[in-house]
Structure 1
Amino acid sequence: MRNRETDRPQPIEKTRLAAVASLLGAPSTFRKVPQTPLEAHEMLLNGLPSRALLHLVENLAFLRWDDSFAKAIGMSHRTYQRHASAGAKPLSPEQSGRTWKFAEVLAKATSIFGSMQEAEQWLERPAIGLNQHKPIDLLATPAGVELVEDFLVRLEHSVYA
């Protein structure tokens, strides 16, 4: 998705990054909003600020912290509470990556379903195209994330089988 002549991200890539960053509270939660996937990678390696995850959770319309959400993020509710009370400690690279990936899936689903509430409800419903698994349950592993992302692409292009 790069323009080889200028090596700049294409508009779709920048729009995707902006949507994910917005779900994580950008620009107020980040020193610098990533403009390229490489910048996002570097930011995740250094750890997202705790307030990015706090912003995401506080702004969910439908989803609540439960076992499925905890597994998708890779963090227990107690650890989340510690981050919420301490506030300054960044997330680990693993937690940052999983939080970012969750936000990516949510942003994609929001663009397909038209609202964040609809996207969140979709994450909680068993999906025929995912063998009756709830998408949020599949976000616990990289293989499951790939299944959900592939399914979203099929939904986007109206290819359900």
Structure 2
Amino acid sequence: MQLGFREPAEPGFGVDGVQLRLPCHRSSVVSQGVALPTRSCLAKWQNEEDNWRMTVAAITAVLGGRKILKRRVESDRELTQLTREGVPVGALTLLASELALDRRTLARVIGISDRTLSRRLAKDERLSAEESDRVVRVARVVAMATDTLGSPAKASSWLQSPNMVLDGQAPLDLLDTDSGTRSVETVLGRIEWGIYS
């Protein structure tokens, strides 16, 4: 931790009033030996929390919302619980239609065999926790692509088209691994900031 003395803190931010710079580059005020976040740090955290709530809402919308998921999912904790218990197979069907893909292509990305998919669809079963995690991962990227590119149709087209930045691979083909997903999210972040990708 780097300690550095800065200008006195705003009134009401502690007795000592010394600010320090934390590794996350957020200012804190030292008050009685305890680092307290400044208002700007709290505002940034709150903004990130609001963004995550919007992300959870977008993910659940892509998965069919309360109608398909058969429960309300409004927080990361609730999304984690749903993932562990298993996402209903109907969410995979809806996600495939959102991407204008056949279910088998999406099942391949998620790592489900045709036979297993057919059985789950016939019995209207839930996916395993591992399969659900992959479905939620794909839904997160679909929501991000839709938000960044402006429409589900543009997101679907972009996800299925080869991308030079991704070594000529279609983003959808990289969503089977966490590291591939991060690469796709990085490219979407660049697009959002206006960097050619």
Give the TM interval when normalised to the shorter protein.
0.7 to 0.9
Q: Which runs of 5 or more structure 2 residues have no equivalent in the other structure?
A: 1-41
Q: CA RMSD in A?
A: 2.5
| Alignment map for 1:94-133 (pairs within 5 Å) | 94-133=130-169
Q: Percent identity?
A: 31
Confirm or deny: 8 A CA contact 1:109 1:152 kept in the other structure.
Answer: yes
In the alignment, residue 122 of structure 1 is paired with which amino acid? W
1:23 paired residue among 62, 84, 88: 62
Structure 1 segments unaligned to the other structure (5+ residues): none
1:64 is matched by which residue type in structure 2? Answer: D
Give 2:14's aligned residue: none
In structure 2, the residue matched to 1:81 is: 118
Q: TM-score if structure 2 supplies the norm length?
A: 0.70
Farther-moved stretch of structure 1 (149-158 vs 10-19): 10-19
Mapped partners of 1:80, 1:105: distance in 2: 22
Q: Which residue number corresponds to residue 102 of structure 2? A: 64
Alpha carbons of 1:62 and 1:49: their partners in 2 closer, same or farther (altered >3 Å)?
A: closer
Output the CA distance in 1 between the equivalents of 2:153 and 2:114.
Answer: 22
The residue that corresponds to 1:159 in the other structure is 195
Decide whether aligned partners of structure 1 residues 70 and 90 sit closer, same or farther in structure 2, where only a CA change above 3 A counts.
closer
Quote the Cα distance in structure 1 between the aligned partners of 2:146 and 2:103: 19
Q: What's the CA shift string for 1:4-34, capped at 9, x where partnerless? A: 9xx9x83322211111101111111224322
- TM-aligned CA deviation for residue 64 of structure 1: 2.5
Q: TM-score scaled by structure 1?
A: 0.84
2:72 aligned partner: 33
**Structure 1 residues 52-109: Cα deviation after superposition (integer angstroms, max 9, x where no partner):** 223322x325222455x3332121233222221111x211001100001111101111
SS at match of 1:10: helix
1:51 paired residue among 81, 86, 90 = 90
Structure 2 residue matching 1:27: 3-state secondary structure: helix
CA shift, 1:37, in A, is: 1.2
In the comparison of the two structures, how many residue pairs are matched? Answer: 156
**Which one has a bigger Cα radius of gyration?**
2
Higher relative contact order (CA 8 A, sep 6+): 1
